[in-house]
Amino acid sequence: MPRHLRFWLIGVLGFCLVLGSSLGLGWPMFSTVQSPPPLSGLVQAGQPPTATLSFLGPTQFRGKTVAQVKVPAGQKVIALTFDDGPWGTSTTEVLAILAQHEVKATFFWIGAHLQRYPEVAKQVVKAGHAVGNHTWNHTYKPVTEEIAIKEIENTSFLIAKTTKVQTRLFRPPGGILNNGLVAYATKKNYTTLMWSVDPHDSAPKGTSEDIIKRVLAQAKPGGIILLHDGGGDRQATIKALPAMITKLKAKGYSFVTIPELLRLGGGTPKPSPTPLASPVPSPTPSLAPDLPKPKPAPTTPPEPPPAEPAVTPVPQAPPTTPAVQPIPLPSPSPQP
């Protein structure tokens, strides 16, 4: 083959690989966006979009980390959650399966993907599913609070701008609890959602049969199932989903969204292998000191001291956390 023709074919092949990656044909794109859009003036730069739907979570779960919910006896419910979307055709395929089986789920979105697929996101909300925040870049690295603000609040702002949904449901990428993201989310009263069922559906060589077996083996009432609809080739998950739903229903399970699950009972935090970054200790209420016992009179037989009044802690009002206004997102630069 002539040398100039060989070089031409190599160039065409390289262009096709780049194009395929940018279109999301099976390769994760987390590394294509290095940093969230810059902020100008933080919250002061503008007013947040008006939301018509809110997923805030019950008060007792705000600022908490939850992996499973203790539900009342007889409530055999479980929650499907999907990470890393919205995503091209795979998210729409998941939506079609959920609609066919009359199941509602919760989708945790990456800001960079939402910027890329806003119409898919609108379909998710229109179908009645709940949504949460999965950061802008899906970063695993330790971050400063300034970066955490950009990762989380830029995503919240874009969710509200695109879908008119205000959400305070947060899922840390990779389930990492100590890189600065969860510390910020906790400080701002997001509910951090982990999971109790992990079928490893995003594993490169995973099969639909493996996914189904792991879900059925780990499922318990009040559980949260981790699945993925974006970030790469999700055909194994899509293939497993119908049978997974059917088999769980046959075992007596019904499906709820994360907000519905939280309303059913108390949460069980997922233990962290290492402490959260910069943990804030809970204040211990101080009690009034014990009253001194009276001394007996010197010229009369001693009398028993009067009973001491019970010391009652002074009730403290719960701390008020100012409402977090999403940070306005500048006009996005064109994706490569």
Count CA atoms within 13 Å of residue 109 on its CB side.
35
If you ran DSSP here, which 8-state letter would residue 320 be given? P
CB-based contact 285:313 (threshold 8 Å): yes
From 83, 84, 201, 229, the catalytic residue: 83
Nearest to 92 by CA among 114, 53, 119: 119
Query: Is 228 annotated in the active site?
Result: yes
Among residues 150, 158, 174, 153, which one has the least CA distance to residue 121?
Answer: 158
Tell which residue, 120, 111, 176, has the closest CA to residue 149. Answer: 111
Nearest to 276 by CA among 194, 200, 199, 195: 194
101/109 Cα distance (integer angstroms): 23
Catalytic residue among 84, 201, 228, 229: 228
Question: How many Cβ atoms from other residues are within 10 Å of residue 283's Cβ?
Answer: 8
Residue linked to tokens 């499906």? 255
CB 258 within 8 A of CB 68: no
DSSP structure string for 57-91: --GGGTT-EESEEEPPTT--EEEEEEEEE--HHHH
Residues 6+ apart with CB under 8 A from 137: 30, 33, 34, 35, 36, 110, 111, 112, 151
Torsion of CA 101, 94, 182, 284, to 10 degrees: 0
What the block records as the tokens of 192 is 């951090």
**Residue positions annotated with a catalytic role:** 83, 228
